Chains A and B, each alone.
Chain A
Amino acid sequence: MLRQATRLLSRPLFSNRSCVRAFATDVPATPSPDTAFVESWKKVIPNIEPPKTPSSFMSQRPPAPSTIPTKITVNFVLPYASELASKEVDMVIIPATTGQMGVLPGHVPTIAELKPGILSVHEGNDVTKYFLSSGFAFVHANSVADIIAVEAVPIAHIDPSLVQKGLAEFTQKLSSASTDLEKAEAQIGVDVHSALNSALSG
């Protein structure tokens, strides 16, 4: 009998709800419980608490502050380690596919795909540079930047002779490649090694 209750409750409610969804930036700071659902539930099943929705378990993202904060909070994570966890810095320059993008506090919310290149984190007079293999960067309205990459190494860890060797090898593979897939792989090799090269010299 109780199994039927959820099915009966869900059908008429969902058909009345409008299908227009608000933007994520308009989400209120505290989740408002759906009062119509809670009332109908209590009418049919007064003894059991109404089920919680996933959004009531999540902590809401803090709303964008009305004044621009002075520093951005950077979360830089890799699959095996978290390099920077909620570190407050002045600026980060990320290697987006559209070019080097500087992110300052108050930056417009962005999702950027990253290409192999240098990530530099500027804190006062210190600049820390990492070479990223690829990944994504999310900048949120409240000046929090999440940067995720598969591999990130400090520039000092890169061996220049191996880079030159790899570049020569892949340039040669690119000219001799036959299938589309081989060409794509060789092109990726050339891109990554040229980025490594310019990271070493730049």
Chain B
Amino acid sequence: MASNAAVPFWRAAGMTYITYSNICANLVRNCLKEPYKTEALTREKVHFSIATWNDGKAEKPVLRSDTPED
């Protein structure tokens, strides 16, 4: 079978394609002119809560969010 063909530099550094693609998208979004920039950043906001489970019981959930808590 084919041996290690020339890999892109980001994969050689241990990055996956999705990480690479998301970094590119973030850089592009940060270079936009004003109304479009805020639109793009609000569109890409994430808001989720993670709870780790231990022995069948949920620990206290951690809230991760781009929107500040009011």
Contact = CB atoms under 8 A, between A and B. Distances in A.
B32 A134 contact: no
Nearest to B22: A150
A134 B13 contact: no
Contact of A166 (B8, B10, B30, B36): B30
Interface in B1-32: 8-10, 12-15, 20-25, 27-32
B24 A134 contact: yes
Q: What is the interface residue range for chain B against chain A?
A: 20 to 34
Contact of B32 (A135, A159, A181): A159
Interface stretch (A32-40, A58-66, A189-197): A189-197
A133 B20 contact: no
14 contacts: A116-B28, A134-B24, A135-B21, A150-B21, A151-B29, A153-B28, A157-B33, A158-B32, A159-B33, A163-B31, A183-B13, A184-B10, A192-B27, A193-B27
Given A153-B36, A188-B10, A162 B31 contact: yes
Interface in B29-58: 29-34, 36-37, 40, 43
